[in-house]
Structure 1
Amino acid sequence: MPTSPAFDDVTVVIVTFNSARTIVECVGTLPNGIRVIVVDNASTDGTCALVEQARPDVEIVRNTVNEGYGFANNQGMALVKTDFGLILNPDTLVDGEALSHLMAAADRNPDAAMIAPLLLRPRGGFELPLMGPWEKNHHQAQTEPDGDFCTWFLTGAALLCNMVAWKHVGGFDEAIFLYNEDADLALRFNALGYSQIVTPLAKVPHVGGGSVPQTLRVRWLKDWHMTWSNYYFEGKYGGDPVARRAQARSSSFKSGLRALLYVLLLNPKKVVGNAAKASAARAYALEKPSTNRRPG
């Protein structure tokens, strides 16, 4: 089936990891005929089979090892031949109307590196984290905007990327396995002088953390990578690296003590969370990477 002329210039890239709960609706909501690339990070829950059943036209890249969100997105974006690549989380729903608004915003803002929609929360309200110039931390907007506006940060759940700008910046920093990769990308686009636009006309439902079952193993992985990525991000954009490693060692010790306390209190979630934070902080202090993949 041919694509709509408005969508001939965009390719969708979705990274999955045990995303069986949401991926069928995600790919099913996308307009028919548009090129979709799913990069699967070694899922074990049948994600790839579900994609094949739901949309046989989807191209699937099957990684045998999970090397991280940024790495997998870079894999998918390297296959994009159109002028735009649309990066989506598997727990987002982008229909033809939302995509049309994103493409129209790209036409209105030809110098923008990325265009993002207004993300809708499942229980109502919207998700719109903002960041000012030279800031490294973002905050949630309280008022829904009434038109396109420029910001210094776009959340990575749904990003329409200008491929010229994407190649210029070099994609995601693959040292980051998970978390803060979108903030890092935004800061690098800012440094190169690109604008980043939110268009509230494009409204995209976002489950938010709903694509992966919340087991204790997932809790460990999330807390570990969040902790490591926070240290890496702060270290990359300022501060004394020796002081950062010393802070990480102190944090590792404190989190380890808290984990032991929660063993006594019979709280497995708190045990796992604090043990993960202790492990990640220690890894950063010892200058260990977040992934075993060798550079290059």
Structure 2
Amino acid sequence: MPTSSVTIITVSYNSMAVLPAMLKSVPKGTTVVVVDNASSDTDPLKALTDEYGATLQLNEDNVGFGPACNQGAAKAETEFLLFLNPDAELQDGALDALLEAAKTYPDASGFNPRILDQNGSQSFKRGSKIRPNERLKGPVPSKDAEVSVLAGSAIFCRRALFEEIGGFDPAIFMYHEDDDLSLRLREHGPLMYCHNAKVVHLSGHGSPRLPQVAAFKAYYSARSRAYALGKYGHPRPKLATLVAAVFRALGPDTLLIKRRRAKNIGYLKGALSAFKDGGRNTP
């Protein structure tokens, strides 16, 4: 299958520092949709997407990661979708390997490539807070293998199935949306790790690494955790999230590291706010 059967969807939020490298890594002839969540750098973003022939959707407000992914997917007409973070780069042959995996495992519902950091070390997602008892044990697979959840930095799936299950849960602003999507995909077939498809992911660099950005992300991380735990029937999800937030806030790095302090306080504020509305998406 040609790579033209794939639409790559990425969500940007002041991501100009990393987005050019991601777009450069995409094979020619592959459709790319960039959904921007109210960034401040839209003029250079427009020029960049024009340069690479990508479709750009500009949101007036930050609608959240999952909802923005849904917007991008709605523009796709291809058989397959690849949700790729703006701070990720496809390595040679990655799309071909994912397409080959889809042919090899026709019953699979979704795929993750082999995700590496900038130093070549592998990042492998073993499980989810939503289903802690399903955490994978043992060494990282050295060949294709079934997994319990998919890492959100690079999720590959068939568009028809993504649409059938309703896409990303729009009630989740950001974080834990990949776990939720994985569990709903898994109801239709196994989730697979594709060893031959390689993606380099500069984790945490999709937006500026500033204290206020860290606080913003952490706030919604806590809210999403409370909502997702509640959605999957965990007892006292709000309390569990708040307890975790308090322990984080009391850690020594809250006092010593400015960015970590902002992150931990933001997480605590998010956990407290989740008591009011359960953590559902509120821009």
**SS of 2:160's equivalent?**
helix
Q: Deviations over 1:70-121 (max 9, x none)?
A: 0000001111111111111011111451111111111111121212210111
Cα RMSD of the aligned pairs, angstroms, is: 2.8
Query: Contact (CA 8 Å) 2:109, 2:188: kept in 1 or not?
Result: no
Pair 1:52-2:45 in alignment? no
Q: CA–CA distance in 2 between the matches of 1:270 and 1:104? A: 41
Residue in 1 that maps onto 2:282: 292
Query: Contact (CA 8 Å) 1:31, 1:95: kept in 2 or not?
Result: no
- Residue identity matched to 2:11: V
Residue in 2 that maps onto 1:172: 168
Q: CA–CA distance in 1 between the matches of 2:3 and 2:136? A: 31
How far apart are residue 213 of structure 1 and its match? Answer: 1.5
Residue in 2 that maps onto 1:238: 233
* Count of matched residue positions in the alignment of Structure 1 and Structure 2: 280
Q: CA–CA distance in 1 between the matches of 2:180 and 2:2? A: 30
**SS of 1:272's equivalent?**
helix
Residue in 1 that maps onto 2:154: 158
Q: CA–CA distance in 2 between the matches of 1:245 and 1:150? A: 31
Q: Deviations over 1:136-172 (max 9, x none)?
A: 4775876443322111211011121111211121111
Pair 1:224-2:214 in alignment? no
115-124 or 101-110: bigger deviation: 115-124
- Residue identity matched to 2:49: E
Query: Contact (CA 8 Å) 2:227, 2:280: kept in 1 or not?
Result: no
Output the TM-score relative to the length of structure 1. 0.84
Q: CA–CA distance in 2 between the matches of 1:137 and 1:60? A: 40
Correspondent of 1:199 among 194, 197, 207: 194
- Residue identity matched to 1:193: H
Pair 1:38-2:34 in alignment? yes
Any unmatched runs of 5+ in structure 2?
A: none
**SS of 1:286's equivalent?**
helix
- Residue identity matched to 1:51: L
How far apart are residue 34 of structure 1 and its match? Answer: 1.4
Q: CA–CA distance in 2 between the matches of 1:234 and 1:211? A: 26
The change in CA–CA distance for 1:279 and 1:115 in structure 2 (over 3 A counts) is: same
Q: Percent identity?
A: 29
**SS of 2:282's equivalent?**
coil
Q: CA–CA distance in 1 between the matches of 2:233 and 2:107? A: 28
Pair 1:123-2:119 in alignment? yes
Residue in 1 that maps onto 2:11: 15
Correspondent of 2:205 among 210, 217, 220: 210
Correspondent of 1:87 among 83, 90, 94: 83
Any unmatched runs of 5+ in structure 1?
A: none
- Residue identity matched to 2:48: V
